[in-house]
Amino acid sequence: MMTDENQNRRREAAEAADVLRDAMEEILGAAGEGDDEIEAARHAAVALDGIEDAEEALRLWRDREEDAIEMLGEEPRDGDDEE
């Protein structure tokens, strides 16, 4: 069973991922043709991939019996796949 502390940490991580995603998307949307802007956009794209990986880790870390994190738009697992 996941403790309240772990649940809070996971929720905070999901919220941080959402904020970071918005910032990286803003960088991608504002990128121009300069070398620094192109480099910033490249790093932002890599960061977005990392955010997706982090969100998947949060999904997998979720305990079957607790409600899913609303921010990730998850549905509670039914547990049928391993029974």
Q: Identify which has the larger pLDDT, 4 or 13.
A: 13
Is the whole-model pTM more than 0.75? no
Q: Which of 45, 47, 66, 64 is nearest to 55 (CA)?
A: 47
Helix (H, G, I), strand (E, B) or coil at 1: coil
Q: Is 40 exposed, middle or buried (0-12, 13-18, 19+ CB in 10 A)?
A: middle
Per-residue pLDDT of 19-46, as tens digits, reads 999 999 999 999 888 999 999 999 999 9
- pLDDT of residue 72 exceeding 70: no
- pLDDT of residue 80 exceeding 60: no
